[in-house]
Amino acid sequence: MNFKNFYSAHKEKINQELGKFLNIKTRQAKKISKDCEKLTEAVKEFTLRGRSKRIRALLVILGYAGFGGRNGREIIKAASFIELIHSYLLIHDDIIDQDDLRRGKPTMHKYFEHSVKSKLSEDKSRLFGVSMGILAGDLCCSLGYEILMKAKFSDKAKTRAIEELDNLIFNVIQGEALDVFAQTSKQTSNKEIYNIYKYKTARYSFEQPLRIGGILAGAGESDLNKLSKFAIPLGIAFQIQDDLLGLLGEEKTIGKPAGSDLREGKKTMALSLALERCNSKERKIIQSVLGGKDIDLKDINRVRDIARKTGALRFCGELIRDYISKSKKALNKIDNFDATARSLLIELADYISNREY
């Protein structure tokens, strides 16, 4: 089985599981009131939007299969939890980043803001939107815990999985806080960017989904730690690459306007390396473009040129290759890992290092 087949076979099952669970919760909310139904319905619509890739849920399944888990039905249920946790974080993140669109549709707070615009003032509509966004995110969080608890695994496996989920949220919130703090400071060090990549992406999106899968299969601490050594460099490589694509990609390949990250003032490894290596004139150019709301393609290209000329891009490419190679080596050191799961993860790692969209 190759990753593509595995992916399409499981993605649909995850979506079905989420749909079934969220239908039950919507009916429960409806019993309280029409308004509660609206909130839960909005959470369902958001979580089931077509563009969600479900990669995190697939990693839970691969961590489980890797350590010999065989209950294909229950692991689909359990793995769905991470997509609700992901909704939770995205909904809150969109308030923090003041984003209007998510997966091609209004963000949660914007959806609720629009819903009352005709009857409330602009200020009150905005507050209503943010309030409902906060609550919708909070709701997703408890629903994520709930769907995990409802899967039929042993109480021991589930309590361990919950402890890991607590860690996951602790880590990702720290990563987001780092990111929010970084927005308030002019200069962000490579170490700080590495930490944001590690906590906001590598641990949350790669390490802990895999570990939770492993835990549900009954893996021991030492095996889980080996899995972490595979997952963290992979996640960091993924984020460096993702930010590179954000810097270099065109709208049709990256799905958002070219230079969006520059416009948002996002601190990335490529940019940080360029700033480290450029001369003072070039530094001024980068700083004037970064966070500028009305920058155009010419500005974007000037930053791209500096990143290229200083070798920052090439160095990012080297970093990605190093992290991927470290990652694959670590995976090969786990003797008792299922061969199919291993080859799917290797394929994923290769895909990440080469992906262009």
Q: Does 62 bind a second copy (CB under 8 A)?
A: no
Q: Residue from 14, 18, 22, 39 that binds a second copy (CB under 8 A)?
A: 39
Distance in Å, CB of 340 to a second copy, minimum: 30
Residue type, 69: G
Q: How crowded is the C-beta side of 231, counted as CA atoms within 13 Å?
A: 27
Instruction: Return the CA Rg of the chain.
Output: 21
Instruction: Build a one-symbol-per-residue string for 196-235: x at contacts with a second copy by CB under 8 A, - elsewhere.
Output: ---x------------------------------------
Measured between alpha carbons, how far is 258 from 78 in angstroms, rounded to an integer?
A: 37
Q: Does 99 bind a second copy (CB under 8 A)?
A: no
Q: Does 30 bind a second copy (CB under 8 A)?
A: no
Q: How crowded is the C-beta side of 82, counted as CA atoms within 13 Å?
A: 31
Q: Residue from 180, 336, 340, 351 that binds a second copy (CB under 8 A)?
A: 180
Measured between alpha carbons, how far is 329 from 254 in angstroms, rounded to an integer?
A: 30
Residue type, 217: A
Q: Does 71 bind a second copy (CB under 8 A)?
A: no
Measured between alpha carbons, how far is 168 from 174 in angstroms, rounded to an integer?
A: 10
Q: Does 126 bind a second copy (CB under 8 A)?
A: no
Size of residue set near a second copy by CB under 8 A: 58
Q: Does 20 bind a second copy (CB under 8 A)?
A: no
Q: Does 263 bind a second copy (CB under 8 A)?
A: no
Q: How many CB atoms lie within 10 A of CB 135?
A: 15
Q: How many CB atoms lie within 10 A of CB 181?
A: 12
Q: Kindly tell me which of 152 and 284 has the beta carbon lying closer to a second copy.
A: 152
Which residues 6+ apart lie within 8 Å of 344 measured at CB? Answer: 1, 2, 3, 6, 62
Q: Does 146 bind a second copy (CB under 8 A)?
A: yes
Q: Residue from 2, 8, 118, 119 that binds a second copy (CB under 8 A)?
A: 119
Tell me the three state secondary structure of residue 309.
Answer: helix
Choose the binding region for a second copy from 29-37, 48-56, 74-82, 331-339 (rule: CB under 8 A): 29-37
Q: Residue from 134, 245, 295, 346 that binds a second copy (CB under 8 A)?
A: 134
- Residue 106: phi, psi to the nearest 5? -60, 140
- Residue 82: phi, psi to the nearest 5? -70, -25
Which residues 6+ apart lie within 8 Å of 201 measured at CB? Answer: 175, 235, 236, 238, 239, 242
Choose the binding region for a second copy from 4-12, 50-58, 136-144, 335-343 (rule: CB under 8 A): 136-144
Distance in Å, CB of 248 to a second copy, minimum: 28
**Three-state helix/strand/coil letters over 213-260:** HHHHCCCCHHHHHHHHHHHHHHHHHHHHHHHHHHHHCCHHHHCCCCCH
Measured between alpha carbons, how far is 136 from 58 in angstroms, rounded to an integer?
A: 24
Q: Does 59 bind a second copy (CB under 8 A)?
A: no
Q: Does 260 bind a second copy (CB under 8 A)?
A: no
| Structure-token match 């290797």, residue found | 346
Choose the binding region for a second copy from 6-14, 23-31, 275-283, 319-327 (rule: CB under 8 A): 23-31
Q: Kindly tell me which of 161 and 240 has the beta carbon lying closer to a second copy.
A: 161
Q: Does 163 bind a second copy (CB under 8 A)?
A: yes
Q: Which residues bind a second copy (CB under 8 A)?
A: 25, 28-29, 32-33, 35-36, 39, 88, 92, 95-96, 98, 116, 119-120, 124, 127-128, 130-132, 134-135, 137-139, 141-143, 145-146, 149-150, 154-156, 158-159, 162-163, 165-167, 169-170, 173-174, 176-178, 180-181, 183-184, 192, 195, 199
